[in-house]
A and B are shown apart, each in its own frame.
Chain A
Amino acid sequence: MISLLALRELRSLFAMPSTWFVLAVLQFIFTWFFLEILQTFLDIQPQLAQLANAPGVTATVASPLFNMVALLLMMLVPMYTMRLIAEERRNQTLALLLSAPLSNRHIVLGKFFGLLIFMLILMAGVPLMLCSLALGTNLDQGLLFSNMLGLLLLTASYIAVGLYVSALTSQPVIAAIGTLAVLVGLWLADIAAADENSSLHLISPLYHFRNFNSGLLDSADAAYFVIFTAMFLLLAMQRLHNNRRYG
């Protein structure tokens, strides 16, 4: 049932012309940024060669690129999560799901995985571009892996927030702005806290992503993302229940 709902979500997304437009524009932005960083790397390569223990191509090119994608996600995810439940409610298609033999868990997880797969397709170009570098040099596969894992967890947590906010309203625009506010708020909490040991850092997904970004796999960071995602998914399920209860 979950896969059925996820597939429906994907089918609807790819049936819309706007999806293909976003896909094209994003590939263009990613590629541009990639070539820009690559050019910078080639320019400073002679100087790097003189350093002892110099950062390699993966650290100089891949890490900034993944970091940029992580920042873009903050704006990208609300654009897609706003549709998930708010639009179904506005178009009154939610009744189909509510009257079908499904539990709230199926509805929420179906939508979550559907959009997660879509976002991964949207970002698939980034690791592929980086892999193309393997033709000319040796890549640090460990760093690439930790970045990809970090990005996956970050996307999942953002989608969970967006899904919950989308479940709160019947106006997709409010869902989008609300999600953006939460995500930017969490980001600001991280960069605005001056103190290195401030606990404000800990609540921000981007702070935890930074370790993945620099190639550090810490189970605490992974646990943070899993708990964060699960919490918002549970809240969304509860919200759907309250939807039946309070109308």
Chain B
Amino acid sequence: MSNATSSDYQTTGPANQSTGQCSGDITLSARNLTRSFGNRQVIHNVSLEIRRGEVLGLLGHNGAGKSTTLQMLTGCLLPDDAEKNESSIAICGIDLLHHPVQAKAHIGYLPETPPLYRELSVNDYLIFAARLRGIKSAAVADALAQTRQRCGLETVGNKIIGTLSKGYQQRIGIAQAIIHRPSLIVLDEPTVGLDPTQIRDIRHLIRELGNSSSVILSTHLLGEVESVCDRVEIMQHGKLIYGDTSEHMQRQGSVSGFIISLRNPPALGELENITGVSSVEQLSATQFRVLHAPDVNPGDTLLQLSAQHNWQLEQLTPLQATLEEVFVKITSEEQASADLARTGEKQ
């Protein structure tokens, strides 16, 4: 029985360990996903599409339905009307709902909590994960060495997983998701619980993975989307409310301005008089929030003036829009356009 199933996977030897690679350009296409728990509908008509080499960020607050969506995309949950063919999920062109075994060979999934057998050693666990995805035993050693190197696990191979820190456990979780080189990598909040250096390393790794495969990652951190994602889908109350490239989204939410601190600050009026500055707010004795029109950046002028008048500039940080602000902006725009449409219908 086991032989019959493993022959479905296309692994032949050490040279070809890319079990999960498929030829098509679109690695995931999901249509009309709907899901209820009891009477409560948590996901409403979600449709997604991802191309090879794309990193998609699924952004949303806790409880927005990100994890449920990802669980459906990886076959851990079935959409509501799976039997009625109203929704469909195709991984590399293979229908996940009707041919789950073949389709899942192309997926690597890191759930919210890394699925680790804590009593096993790191090597044993990763070998199990690789074999589970159909990598032939001859190719396992290669895949293991490569994955450990990519995820920074070289030094902990023989340690028992339960004895390792949260950061290592998270990395092992990522390692099991990529060891079979899947076409589609699904990461549910991959950087939670990591320290800043590890976060940087993992983001770097995700970017790298995005070159050869497609990656979906869910997060509630805007910074994560900015640094690694090509495209963003914002999710709220189980609906996708906004989707665009991540640069566009940042522009949507960005506030033009910066925070400056001057050790020898001038009067407030002097700052306000700089061309382009629209308003200045004093935050502390030395700190100011300077807002300006989006098309003129008074940063250069400010630097020159600071040097001329010896204001002793210590810091100049562009204002970052928070997810909250982007949300508010996007959702209020959605609301406004809906209202507009409604009044238009009435007239």
A91-B105 Cα distance, complex, nearest whole Å: 23
List residues of chain B with CB under 8 Å of any chain A CB: 1-2, 5-6, 8-9, 37, 71, 74-78, 82, 100-105, 107, 109, 111-113, 115-120, 124, 128-129, 131-134, 160, 176
A109-B129 Cα distance, complex, nearest whole Å: 18
* Given known A99-B74, A99-B75, contact A92–B111 (CB-CB < 8 A): yes
* Given known A2-B2, A12-B119, A106-B5, contact A100–B77 (CB-CB < 8 A): no
- Contact assessment for B176 and A96 in the assembled complex, using a CB-CB cutoff below 8 Å: yes
A96-B109 Cα distance, complex, nearest whole Å: 8
- Contact assessment for B176 and A15 in the assembled complex, using a CB-CB cutoff below 8 Å: no
A149-B109 Cα distance, complex, nearest whole Å: 42
- Contact assessment for A92 and B115 in the assembled complex, using a CB-CB cutoff below 8 Å: yes
- Contact assessment for B5 and A1 in the assembled complex, using a CB-CB cutoff below 8 Å: yes
- Contact assessment for B78 and A2 in the assembled complex, using a CB-CB cutoff below 8 Å: no
Beyond contacts A93-B115, A101-B8, A101-B132: 16 other A-B pairs, Cβ-Cβ < 8 A, are A1-B2, A4-B2, A4-B132, A12-B117, A16-B119, A95-B74, A95-B115, A96-B132, A96-B176, A100-B132, A101-B9, A101-B104, A102-B132, A106-B5, A244-B75, A245-B78
Interface residues of A, dominant DSSP: helix
Which residues does chain A contribute within 8 Å of B176, judged by CB atoms?
Answer: 96
- Encode A1-20 as 1/0 by CB contact (under 8 A) with B: 11111001001100110000
A247-B38 Cα distance, complex, nearest whole Å: 9
**A168 at the binding interface (Cβ < 8 Å):** no
Which residues does chain B contribute within 8 Å of A92, judged by CB atoms?
Answer: 111-113, 115
A16-B6 Cα distance, complex, nearest whole Å: 30
Number of chain A residues close to chain B: CB under 8 A: 28
List residues of chain A with CB under 8 Å of any chain B CB: 1-5, 8, 11-12, 15-16, 91-103, 106, 109, 244-245, 247
Max count, chain B CB within 10 A of own CB: residue among A15, A95, A100, A244: A100
Give min CB distance, B79 to chain A, whole Å.
10
Determine the residue in chain B with the shortest Cβ distance to A106.
B5
A244-B76 Cα distance, complex, nearest whole Å: 6
- Contact assessment for B132 and A12 in the assembled complex, using a CB-CB cutoff below 8 Å: no
Residue from B74, B109, B131, B160 in contact with A4 in the complex, judged by beta carbons closer than 8 Å: B131
Which residues does chain A contribute within 8 Å of B9, judged by CB atoms?
Answer: 101
- Contact assessment for B120 and A99 in the assembled complex, using a CB-CB cutoff below 8 Å: no
Which residues does chain A contribute within 8 Å of B132, judged by CB atoms?
Answer: 1, 4-5, 96-97, 100-102
- Contact assessment for A95 and B119 in the assembled complex, using a CB-CB cutoff below 8 Å: no
- Contact assessment for B134 and A101 in the assembled complex, using a CB-CB cutoff below 8 Å: yes
Which residues does chain A contribute within 8 Å of B119, judged by CB atoms?
Answer: 12, 15-16
Which residues does chain A contribute within 8 Å of B113, judged by CB atoms?
Answer: 91-92
Which residues does chain A contribute within 8 Å of B111, judged by CB atoms?
Answer: 92, 95, 99
A99-B103 Cα distance, complex, nearest whole Å: 10
Residue from B76, B103, B118 in contact with A91 in the complex, judged by beta carbons closer than 8 Å: B118
Which residues does chain B contribute within 8 Å of A95, judged by CB atoms?
Answer: 71, 74, 76, 109, 111, 115
A98-B118 Cα distance, complex, nearest whole Å: 18
In the complex, 16 of the A-B residue pairs with CB atoms within 8 angstroms, ordered by the A residue number, are A1-B2, A1-B6, A4-B128, A4-B132, A12-B117, A15-B120, A91-B115, A95-B111, A95-B115, A96-B129, A98-B76, A99-B107, A101-B104, A101-B132, A106-B2, A244-B75
A1-B107 Cα distance, complex, nearest whole Å: 17
- Contact assessment for B1 and A247 in the assembled complex, using a CB-CB cutoff below 8 Å: no
